[in-house]
Every structure is written in structure tokens, then in C-alpha cells.
């Protein structure tokens, strides 16, 4: 399982060392740690993707020490699993990891809490290269714990990544607050830092699922996020509200779909009126977003026609990049349930969609 990061706990009769590992195979794993143990020392290794897979306990022994090398090559221990006691649970864990990674979601929504703007830019650029398709990953940034909390209050995230060193309140304080909140406590959290053992212990004690040292190996982290994002805490398909989006821009559809799906909605898209009518009848949406500037007919005329024919009993909302006064006027004249400005961003889009659905309930 090269390229995946796992939470790894080394257990002995005297202590438990919590860190992370990678290069997992059916016979061994490398654990990043400054904990020292002699060769052949017997240990128990607990492997997991918290809130997604595991934990699995495996008997092992120390077979090697690896010194820290270039950036992204931390030091640690190589542990070999006991060949005399093959673990069915380990085999199952490996199989589940492969299955989850080979069946990725359409989109991921990530909150990165990091006050270094260059690190944020590198993370975003690397994520775009890794995930490829436009809209496949939506990343919101927060430079402080306070700003992160504001975003968490209005949007849902598949994974929250928190740097330990933040202005005013450190990452461990934010993580503890997340874990104390009933709505957010199930969200997977990855802590990152240059702070070594002290930062690792502080963030894991606060409730982080995984800690990874900086500098980050982005490829490994993104592969891991794809598994963590499949947390059982995520909404199941039969409890999701469905939003139908009519827009002739493939890019706008991709970005909108990614943001709404990351917030827990089921999203159906249509690029023209034929697809819109077909999907409206098929999926029975709970909310409909209509772009104003469509090539076949203006969105406000579409909304007025549907309402006049009394064929729609769910909120119809205009969604456009035109100037807000003009958008507000068109909304009133069409008797639409409301409007959302595209320029307001994806966080506002999610918040307003939740608001319209709550008002319609």
C-alpha cells in the first residue's frame, strides 16, 4: 500500500507510542517515530484510518532503524509482522483500502487551516494536479482557528487539516472544540506541523485522527484523504436532499456540484432544457437552482413558466453572475424563492441552499 498514511500505535507492556506509518505491505510497515527500540524487540502494532477503517492489531518486531534524510523522508522504525500468526484482519484492512481508493468519490471538500499563505498555495496547486478534473476537490482556507470556526458553521467538510502553530489559538485548541461539537465531532481531522513530538502529542490528545510532519508529501496525503473522506459519519444516500442545477457552463456545474456534494447533498446537473426536464421528472429534487443566462431561454422566464403552470412545488432559486440589483429584480418579477450570486463563493452557496431547504420544510 505504497503512498498511504495510517495512524500507527506501537504498543508494549510499558507504553504506547502513537504516530503514523506508511509503506504498508502484508509483511511490514514503516513507522515515523523518534522512539527507540532494539532490533527484534516484540511489539503490537495498531493500524487504522480513524473514522474510516480499522483498528487492526498485529504482532510485530523491530527489524530496522531508518535515519531522517531529505525533506519528506523522516526517520523511524521498520516493523515486520509475525509470520507465525498471519492476521486475517490485516488482510481485510489492505483489501478495504484498495477498494475505497479504487472507487473514489466524484468530489472532495477540504478545509485547510494554515496561516502560511505559500503553504496554502502549494497545497491547492498540488491538489489540483493530483485530483485532475475541475471541481474534483474544493479547498477552503482559514488562516486562524477563529476563521476556521466561521467556515465550519456554514459548510460541511470531508476532511479538516489543521496546522498546530496558528495565531491566537493553536491547532490543538481548535481540534478540541471540533470534537466537543455534536454536529462536527465525526469529521476526520488531520493535524500537521513542524513541531515534532510535542505538536503530535498535543493534537492527537485533542482528538486529531492523524498527525503528519511537515514538510508534507502531498501525493501520500491526498491518497490518504481519499480514504478518510469515506468516513461512516458521512450522510448516506437515502438521507440526502437532492438539488437540481441548470447551467450551460460545464465548469460552473462541476464546481457547484463539488461544493454541494461535499456539504452532503445529492446533486443532479443539466446543461440544457431537455436534460433539465428529464432530470426534474426523474429525480424529484428538493431544490432547483437555475442560471439566468441560458442560451435557450432566460432562467427567470423558465422559473416563471414553471410556477405559472404549477408543475413545481419546491423552491426555485436563480443562480447567476449578473449584478445583484438586476438579479434581485428578476427574482421578484419571476416570483422565484430567492437568488444566489455566483460571485459570493461556494461557502455562501451552501449556506443559502441550506436556508432555502429549511424554509421550505
Give the CATH number for residue 124.
3.40.50.2300
Residue 1 lies in a domain: no
Whether residues 112 and 208 fall in one domain = yes
C-alpha distance from residue 314 to each of 65, 81, 196, 307 (Å): 62, 57, 52, 10
Residue 68 pLDDT grade (very low, low, confident, very high; cuts 50, 70, 90): confident
Whether residues 152 and 40 fall in one domain = no
What's the rounded mean pLDDT across residues 330-339? 95
Whether residues 220 and 266 fall in one domain = no
Plot region of 280 (φ>0 → left; ψ -120 to 50 → alpha; else → beta)? alpha
Q: Please say which residue of 41, 73, 100 terminates a domain.
A: 100
Segment 249-303, tens digit of pLDDT: 988 888 888 888 777 788 899 999 999 998 888 888 999 999 999 999 999 999 9
Whether residues 241 and 218 fall in one domain = no
Q: Please say which residue of 228, 260, 287 terminates a domain.
A: 228
Q: Please say which residue of 100, 115, 131 terminates a domain.
A: 100
- Domain residues for the domain of 222 are 104-228
- Dump strand ranges (E) for the chain: 6-11, 16-22, 28-32, 42-49, 53-66, 76-81, 108-113, 137-142, 159-163, 189-193, 210-213, 242-246, 266-270, 287-291, 316-320, 338-341
CB atoms within 10 A of CB 170: 20
Q: How many domains does the chain have?
A: 3
Whether residues 12 and 80 fall in one domain = yes
pTM above 0.85, yes or no: no
Q: Does residue 184 carry a pLDDT above 90?
A: no
Segment 124-179, tens digit of pLDDT: 888 888 877 767 788 999 999 999 999 998 888 888 999 999 999 999 999 999 98
Query: For the chain, what percent of residues have pLDDT higher than 90?
Result: 36
Rg of the chain on CA atoms, in Å: 24
Angle subtended at Cα 227 by Cα 224 and Cα 233, rounded to the nearest 5 degrees: 130
Task: Please report which residue ranges of 186-338 form alpha helices under DSSP H.
Answer: 196-206, 218-228, 250-262, 273-283, 299-308, 324-334
Query: For the chain, what percent of residues have pLDDT higher than 70?
Result: 89
Mean pLDDT rounded to a whole number for the chain: 85
Amino acid at each position: 500500500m505504497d503512498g498511504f498514511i495510517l495512524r500507527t500505535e506501537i504498543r508494549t507492556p510499558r507504553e504506547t507510542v502513537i504516530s503514523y506509518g506508511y509503506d504498508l505491505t502484508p509483511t511490514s510497515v514503516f513507522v515515523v517515530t523518534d522512539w527507540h527500540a532494539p532490533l527484534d524487540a516484540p511489539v503490537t502494532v495498531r493500524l487504522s484510518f480513524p473514522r474510516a477503517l480499522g483498528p487492526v492489531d498485529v504482532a510485530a518486531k523491530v527489524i530496522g532503524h531508518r535515519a531522517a534524510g531529505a525533506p519528506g523522508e523522516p526517520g523511524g522504525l521498520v516493523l515486520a509482522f509475525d509470520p507465525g500468526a498471519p492476521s486475517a484482519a490485516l488482510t481485510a484492512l489492505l483489501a478495504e483500502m484498495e477498494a475505497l481508493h479504487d472507487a473514489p468519490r466524484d468530489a472532495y471538500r477540504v478545509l485547510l487551516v494554515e496561516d502560511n499563505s505559500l503553504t496554502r498555495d502549494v497545497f491547492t496547486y498540488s491538489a489540483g494536479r493530483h485530483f485532475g478534473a475541475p471541481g474534483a476537490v474544493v479547498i477552503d482556507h482559514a488562516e486562524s482557528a477563529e476563521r476556521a470556526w466561521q467556515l465550519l458553521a456554514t459548510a460541511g467538510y470531508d476532511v479538516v487539516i489543521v496546522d498546530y502553530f496558528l495565531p491566537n489559538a493553536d491547532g490543538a485548541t481548535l481540534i478540541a472544540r471540533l470534537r466537543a461539537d455534536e454536529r462536527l465531532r465525526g469529521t476526520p481531522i488531520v493535524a500537521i506541523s513542524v513541531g515534532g513530538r510535542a505538536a503530535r502529542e498535543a493534537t492527537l490528545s485533542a482528538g486529531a485522527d492523524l498527525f503528519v510532519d511537515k514538510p508534507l508529501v502531498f501525493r501520500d496525503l491526498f491518497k490518504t484523504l481519499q480514504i478518510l473522506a469515506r468516513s461512516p459519519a458521512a450522510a448516506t444516500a437515502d438521507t440526502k436532499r437532492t438539488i437540481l442545477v441548470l447551467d450551460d457552463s460545464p465548469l460552473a456545474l462541476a464546481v457547484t456540484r463539488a461544493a454541494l456534494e461535499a456539504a452532503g447533498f445529492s446533486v443532479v446537473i443539466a446543461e440544457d432544457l431537455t436534460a433539465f426536464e428529464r432530470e426534474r421528472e426523474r429525480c424529484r429534487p428538493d431544490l432547483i437552482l437555475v442560471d439566468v443566462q441560458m442560451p435557450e431561454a432566460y432562467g427567470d422566464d423558465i422559473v416563471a413558466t414553471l410556477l405559472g403552470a404549477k408543475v413545481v412545488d419546491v423552491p426555485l432559486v436563480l443562480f447567476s453572475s449578473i449584478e445583484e440589483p438586476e438579479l434581485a429584480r428578476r427574482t421578484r418579477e419571476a416570483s422565484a424563492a430567492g437568488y444566489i450570486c455566483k460571485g459570493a463563493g461556494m461557502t455562501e452557496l451552501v449556506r443559502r441552499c441550506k436556508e432555502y431547504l429549511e424554509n421550505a420544510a
